[in-house]
A and B are shown apart, each in its own frame.
Chain A
Amino acid sequence: DQQVKQNSPSLSVQEGRISILNCDYTNSMFDYFLWYKKYPAEGPTFLISISSIKDKNEDGRFTVFLNKSAKHLSLHIVPSQPGDSAVYFCAASRGSGSARQLTFGSGTQLTVLP
C-alpha cells in the first residue's frame, strides 16, 4: 500500500514556463514533507521542505504548497530551466520509534525542453 503517491511518472515543460509536480499521501500522521531531485547516476539531493503547520514554502524558483485537507502537495518551479530536468521525489515524514523515517513516492521525471 503506497502511502505517498506520485501519479505522473513523467512531465515535459517548455523552458521558461511553470512546472507543477504533484504528490498525494494517505497517512494523516505525516507532519513534514520534502522534495528531492535526482540526476542519473547520482544520489537524491534535498530541494525544499514544508511542515504540516504551513501551507506554503518558497525558496527562489521553487515553491511547495501543502493542502492538508486534500492530503496533497505540489512543487512549482518557475521559471523552468533545462538544468531542472531530473527525477523529482516527494517524501513524507512522521515521528515514530527511534528515528524519523521518510516514505518516498515513486518519482516524476521532469524534462524541460529548450
Chain B
Amino acid sequence: DVKVTQSSRYLVKRTGEKVFLECVQDMDHENMFWYRQDPGLGLRLIYFSYDVKMKEKGDIPEGYSVSREKKERFSLILESASTNQTSMYLCASSEVWASGGAPGGETQYFGPGTRLLVL
C-alpha cells in the first residue's frame, strides 16, 4: 500500500511567517506533487517534481517554492505567508512516466492534507 504522509494536519501561522510543509512517500515514486484545495476550485497544482532536485511550476506557483533533496521527501515553502494562502494543502506521488509511453501509470496517491490558516 502506498503511504504518503504530511508533517502536520493543522497549522496556524501569522502573515509574513515562513512556512514549511513536509511530505514523505514510501513507495519509491519518482514524481511528487503539491496541490491546494479550495471550495469551488477543486485541486490546483502548485509545483511538482519528477526527480531529486528537479522541480517544475504548476498552475499557481506564485508565493510558493519547493525543495526535493531526497527522493522520498518533497517540501512546500511559503516564503512569506499571506491570508490568501489559507487553504488545504495536499501532497501526492506517482510512478515515473516515460515520455511517449502509454498512460495509466500516472495515478496519484495523496496524503491526508494539511489545513493551513494564515492570520
Instruction: Point out residues on A near B: beta carbons under 8 Å.
Output: 4, 6, 9, 31-32, 34, 36, 41-46, 49, 51-52, 89, 91, 93, 95, 97-107
Contacts and interface: CB of A to CB of B under 8 A. Distances in A.
B43 interface: yes
Interface of B: 4, 9, 30-31, 33, 35, 40-45, 48, 50-51, 54, 56, 58, 90, 92, 94, 96-97, 99-113
Contact of A104 (B30, B42, B50, B106): B42
Contacts of B110: 36, 43-45
Contacts of A95: 97, 99-101, 103
Nearest to A52: B103
A32 B45 contact: no
A80 B31 CA distance: 34
B111 A99 contact: no
Given A99-B97, A106-B41, A49 B111 contact: no
B45 A101 contact: yes
A83 B90 CA distance: 23
B40 A43 contact: no
Nearest to B59: A103
A104 B43 contact: yes
B48 A49 contact: no
B102 to A, nearest CB: 8
Given A43-B112, A97-B56, A107-B42, 19 more contacts: A4-B42, A32-B106, A36-B110, A41-B9, A41-B112, A41-B113, A46-B109, A49-B104, A95-B99, A95-B100, A95-B101, A98-B50, A99-B56, A100-B103, A101-B33, A102-B108, A103-B45, A104-B42, A104-B43
Given A42-B113, A43-B112, A44-B90, A102 B56 contact: no
A70 B92 CA distance: 30
B103 to A, nearest CB: 4
A91 B44 CA distance: 11
Given A42-B113, A95-B100, A101 B58 contact: yes
Contacts of B96: 99
